[in-house]
Structure 1
Amino acid sequence: MAAYDALRCALSAERLSTYGRIASTCSADVTAQCLYVWNMRMCGALMMPVHLCEVVIRNAAASVLARQHGPRWPWNEALRRRLPAASSTSARIALEQVASRATEASEVVANLPMVFWQQLFTCRFDATLWIPALGGVLRHAPSAHPSVIRKAIHADIGRIRHLRNRIAHHEPILERDIGADLAAIGRLIHARCPHTLGWLQRHERATTVLAASPLAARP
């Protein structure tokens, strides 16, 4: 069996067809296999910035919740009632499920999904959380009204959630605007701590892998 046929059998023709379609728009030396390898490398390289971004933002948001509702905020009934509960991925259901298995707030923070933190950055929490506290925990965000900053943060978290989910499910990301993804990650981390962003930039490989994209060979 030819090498490509073996790969197609192992990965599925349907999966490789996406890469074959994109390769057909590139120069002759760019193949589906080449694009698949680069996509895997890019996904691996992006996990470091995504990881740091999620940890930084969830810690910032958790500190606001602790300030507003006390150190036992995951078990605060007033907070739970304010959380969205309209779907199976709602913040309220996520918190109830995680808090029911935990005894410490730090354990809850570590296990809540990213959608929980994104749903905190909605207008329903402007008056109670973000207008009074956003400037304290995200003091390096652009100068604007807290509701404007909060809306931009919500959008950036949503973008990173989508990227993270595609990586986790081994989906193609090579047609995404990865430069914009990295910019959103940079904005979120910088808003909390420019020093941490600088530390990330000294160690991450995503920028280097992106610069070597085979898609640059498109005619």
Structure 2
Amino acid sequence: MDRSNSNLHSLQAQNPASPPVIDDAALEAALSADRFGRYLAWAGGDRARALDLYALNIRLSEALYPSLQMLEVVLRNRIHAIMSEAIAPDWLLRDDTLLVPHQAMQIATAVSELGRDTKAPTPSGIVAALTFSFWTTMLGPSYENLWQTHLHRIGRRRDGKGLRRKDFSAPLTPIRILRNRIAHHEPVLSWNLPGHHQAMHRLTGWLSPGAATWCFTFDRFVAVCPSTRIGLLNN
């Protein structure tokens, strides 16, 4: 164990009721003035409140991770399964399959990264290496014909209504942006997080009811998210 962590744990064990001493100025410098400034504005200049908001942003970002991960993993696997059945397991490497130019670049990057790791570029390896944006693009307007012929079979609505491509693409665009903001540690408190959380579970449920049910057993978002609207000034 790192010596500094060992010393900290020792001090906490000796006096567990004693709160840690935090140098606010040093902490703000570590977070950077520009990044902390957003929280300070939301808190109306109250530094203690700003730090609380920053911590809440971290906790909510963490709590959204299970539903984000489950949706991304299930979505890419369902698309790959349908396309493998309709075309071939190596559909990602076929020149006539992809209709959006940047997707070919994404595949080339994934194959290159697998090569650097001395891994043979298998279909499943490429699937795992591709970004979320690749898979959301597969549900964009360029693939409407493919949706009509094959991709509509990736899932089923629970209300029995026919599944449209836009049922996925409309909520997936903001979810993808939210995912990237969380990955880059950006503020997300001003977003409608409960709404996006519900959308993630709804889409996952259409793709794989079992995966959605299982994910919900350890999803802590509802417990972490404040029950009332988060008060943000200057928003």
TM-score (norm. length: structure 2): 0.78
Tell me the distance in 1 between the aligned counterparts of 2:131 and 2:149.
25
SS of the residue 1:203 aligns to:
coil
SS of the residue 1:48 aligns to:
helix
Structure 2 residue aligned with 1:121 = 139
Does residue 159 in structure 1 map to residue 174 in structure 2?
yes
Residues 135 and 214 of structure 1: is their aligned pair in 2 closer, same or farther, counting only changes over 3 Å?
A: closer
- Higher helix fraction: Structure 1 or Structure 2? 1
SS of the residue 2:188 aligns to:
coil
Tell me the distance in 1 between the aligned counterparts of 2:232 and 2:34.
24
The Cα shift of 1:184 comes to: 1.6
Comparing 3-12 with 182-191, greater Cα deviation is found at: 3-12
Does residue 97 in structure 1 map to residue 109 in structure 2?
yes
Q: Which residue of 207, 226, 229 maps to 1:192?
A: 207
SS of the residue 1:60 aligns to:
helix
Larger-Rg structure: 2
Equivalences for residues 1-80 of structure 1 within 5 A: 3-24=23-44, 31-79=49-97
Q: How many residues align?
A: 207
The Cα shift of 1:191 comes to: 0.9
Structure 1 residue aligned with 2:14 = none
Does residue 132 in structure 1 map to residue 149 in structure 2?
yes
The Cα shift of 1:135 comes to: 4.4
The Cα shift of 1:197 comes to: 1.2
Residues 207 and 30 of structure 1: is their aligned pair in 2 closer, same or farther, counting only changes over 3 Å?
A: farther
Structure 2 counterpart of 1:94, one-letter code = Q
TM-score (norm. length: structure 1): 0.84
Residues 217 and 8 of structure 1: is their aligned pair in 2 closer, same or farther, counting only changes over 3 Å?
A: closer
Tell me the distance in 1 between the aligned counterparts of 2:78 and 2:90.
16
Residues 9 and 212 of structure 1: is their aligned pair in 2 closer, same or farther, counting only changes over 3 Å?
A: farther
Tell me the distance in 2 between the aligned counterparts of 1:21 and 1:213.
20
Tell me the distance in 2 between the aligned counterparts of 1:83 and 1:13.
43
Tell me the distance in 1 between the aligned counterparts of 2:128 and 2:201.
21
Tell me the distance in 1 between the aligned counterparts of 2:60 and 2:232.
17
Structure 2 counterpart of 1:132, one-letter code = T
The Cα shift of 1:171 comes to: 0.6
The Cα shift of 1:111 comes to: 0.4
Structure 1 counterpart of 2:43, one-letter code = A
Gaps of 5+ in 2: 1-21
The Cα shift of 1:30 comes to: 6.5
CA-to-aligned-CA distance 1:2-30 (integer Å, 9 cap, x gap): 822121121122211111111229xx897
Tell me the distance in 1 between the aligned counterparts of 2:185 and 2:125.
28
Identity of aligned residues (%): 29
Gaps of 5+ in 1: none
CA-to-aligned-CA distance 1:137-182 (integer Å, 9 cap, x gap): 2023655555xx2122112221221111111111111111001110
Tell me the distance in 2 between the aligned counterparts of 1:29 and 1:18.
11
Tell me the distance in 1 between the aligned counterparts of 2:130 and 2:159.
27
> What's the C-alpha RMSD, in Å, of the aligned pairs?
2.6
